[in-house]
A and B are shown apart, each in its own frame.
Chain A
Amino acid sequence: MIQQDQLLQVTNLNIIFPSPKGDVHAVKDISFSLGKEKIGLVGESGSGKSVTGRAILRLLPPYAKVSAEEISFKGQDLLSFSEKELRCIRGKEISMVMQDPKYSLNPVRTVGQQISEAYIVHSKVSKSVAREQTLKMLTAVRIRNPEQVYKLYPHEVSGGMGQRIMIAMMLIPEPSLLIADEPTSALDVTVQLQVLAILDDLVTQRGMGLIFISHDLELVASFCDRVIIMYGGRIMEVINAADLHNSTHPYTRGLLNCLPRIEGRNERLSTLVRDDAWLDADFWHSNDSDGIII
């Protein structure tokens, strides 16, 4: 199932963090492609899912060694881009929603100023047009009183609203790909779903691609079209979300089994028994579902 309108192609991405105790190989030889779809990147902490998202936009610290055969976006080779050229991609073409609005918003500027800045930088419009557009965007992310919220500072808004503001800011330049790094893990379940519904609608309406980074397997299974499961810096499995519960990969099964369930009360939760063989490169290539290039 190679997508016709392919947005992003990553081939053999490697990320190494040098350290005095030897290099940490955070991501090893991962490859995936993305069309206009919702793809979930799931894994435990330390599995390399966030650094993968950041590496695409070259947002890792300079000491990180990122190498790849190919990172191409709409046929353009992002690896060959200079910092300056990349700035035109960041925000306008690919944007990223970070986990915590508290740390990602500028505390000394109002919410409205920050969002309209994102618009002005990429669209060269007047301030009043930007303001108009910002208010429209705030309404689109279901903020009921945009005029009022426009004037607020980040510390005056709740976590759920902060996250919606982040999403509004990232969507206002109308990117074709959105990388969302645990955008909802700090929110209550109902608010979380409402925020996801906003993303979902925008993906469908605008034909955007979405990379959704999360540790919540169940949520990803119900929200995304495809799921990439990572462990120890490697891709364990790429699977259609609908088939996730029938997965035969031992790691995916292990993760699914250790979730407690509302409806069933099994006496003991099964725990994950880790197997070093999972980290061998050739372990899972045989069962390559749907011909997705791994």
Chain B
Amino acid sequence: MLNISNLNIYFGHGSEKNHALKDVSFEIKKGESFGLVGESGSGKSTVLNCISGLLNHWQGTIEVDGEVVSQKRDLAFYRKVQLVFQDPYGSLHPRHTIDRTLKEPLAIHKFTDINHRVEKVLSEVDLGSQFRFRYPHQLSGGQRQRVAVARALILEPEIILLDEPTSALDVSIQAEVLNLLQDIRKERNLTYVMVSHDLAVISYMCENCAVMSQGSVVEMISAEQLQSGDLSQNYTKQLFTASKGYDRAAIDLFQDF
């Protein structure tokens, strides 16, 4: 469904030039959920931004559904691929009601039966119709993230890119949003690419994941490998140990990568 090969990107010029992605390659099948894990600055969000077209000075090949996509995307691409951001408050227009936020993509893509679609997608993300004419500030963090998911779903895409969708939420709300994402994926046979720094979330959501460090993929692992701790790279092992909680002895052995 999604094929990335030798993706490279540079930021800055001259001596400040930063090779932010170094030959990143991976392949995702239809209906699969793929994770990208790494620490801040490892380039995991940059990969999503390249795929979604938010960055367009990358080099390499991005193939969606068998078609090579260029730097410039057409409308059909955006119907297929949608993005959910980390901060639900920052990504919703503060002076647009939920109704207007959800109708905008429908108008752009010239959908018909707009009212009905908005109603349907809101019930799909478990938001009642009473939320439809509210503004983002009148919703809680979890509800806002549901609206962000609804906005991505309303175009009936095949691939959803999730950039740390739950890291701004409390654990109790995180569980609700993760469940919702899993349910929708099963129902619609969606493909997910999910960025997270939380190995537990990736282990719950994804079948396979790529571990990134300083712009390169250091290891590709399956969920089973992650669950059993069967890891080959030291970087991944250290992330794994760190996710297990505080252990004074283990911390002294940490290295910088």
In the complex, whether A29 has a CB less than 8 A from a CB of chain B is no
Minimal beta-carbon separation of A202 from chain B (angstroms): 13
- Using known A-B contacts A262-B243, A264-B227, determine if residue A272 contacts B254 with beta carbons closer than 8 Å: no
- Chain B residues with Cβ below 8 Å from A194 are 251, 254
Question: Is there an interface contact between A260 and B178, defined as CB atoms closer than 8 Å?
Answer: yes
- Chain B residues with Cβ below 8 Å from A189 are 39, 197, 239, 242-243
In the complex, whether A281 has a CB less than 8 A from a CB of chain B is no
- Per the bound structure, the CA–CA distance linking A194 and B170 in Å amounts to 23
In the complex, whether B248 has a CB less than 8 A from a CB of chain A is yes
Question: Is there an interface contact between A265 and B170, defined as CB atoms closer than 8 Å?
Answer: no
- Using known A-B contacts A193-B242, A219-B246, A261-B200, determine if residue A254 contacts B172 with beta carbons closer than 8 Å: yes
- Chain A residues with Cβ below 8 Å from B227 are 262-265
Question: Is there an interface contact between B175 and A222, defined as CB atoms closer than 8 Å?
Answer: no
In the complex, whether A156 has a CB less than 8 A from a CB of chain B is no
Q: Mark A26-58, 1 if CB is under 8 A from B, else 0.
A: 000000000000000000110000000000000
Within 8 Å by CB of B200, from A44, A200, A262, lies: A262
Question: Is there an interface contact between A190 and B226, defined as CB atoms closer than 8 Å?
Answer: no
- Chain A residues with Cβ below 8 Å from B254 are 190, 193-194
- Per the bound structure, the CA–CA distance linking A58 and B228 in Å amounts to 48
- Using known A-B contacts A190-B39, A269-B175, A271-B176, determine if residue A262 contacts B226 with beta carbons closer than 8 Å: yes
Smallest Cβ-Cβ distance to A241: which chain B residue = B246
In the complex, whether B204 has a CB less than 8 A from a CB of chain A is yes
Within 8 Å by CB of A193, from B176, B179, B223, B251, lies: B251
- Chain B residues with Cβ below 8 Å from A264 are 227
Question: Is there an interface contact between A222 and B172, defined as CB atoms closer than 8 Å?
Answer: no
Which residues of B (16-60) have their CB < 8 Å from a CB of A?
39-40
Minimal beta-carbon separation of A57 from chain B (angstroms): 25
Q: Mark B228-256, 1 if CB is under 8 A from A, else 0.
A: 11000000001110111111100110100
- Per the bound structure, the CA–CA distance linking A190 and B200 in Å amounts to 15
- Per the bound structure, the CA–CA distance linking A155 and B141 in Å amounts to 29
In the complex, whether B199 has a CB less than 8 A from a CB of chain A is yes
20 additional contacts (CB under 8 A) given A260-B204, A261-B204, A262-B240: A45-B141, A159-B40, A188-B40, A188-B197, A189-B239, A190-B242, A191-B39, A194-B251, A218-B245, A258-B175, A260-B175, A260-B178, A260-B205, A262-B200, A262-B243, A264-B227, A265-B204, A269-B175, A269-B178, A272-B175
A-B contact pairs, 30 of them (CB 8 A): A44-B171, A45-B141, A188-B40, A189-B39, A189-B239, A189-B242, A193-B242, A193-B251, A194-B254, A197-B251, A200-B246, A218-B245, A223-B245, A223-B246, A254-B172, A255-B171, A255-B172, A258-B171, A258-B175, A261-B204, A262-B226, A262-B243, A262-B244, A265-B204, A265-B227, A268-B179, A268-B182, A271-B175, A271-B176, A271-B179
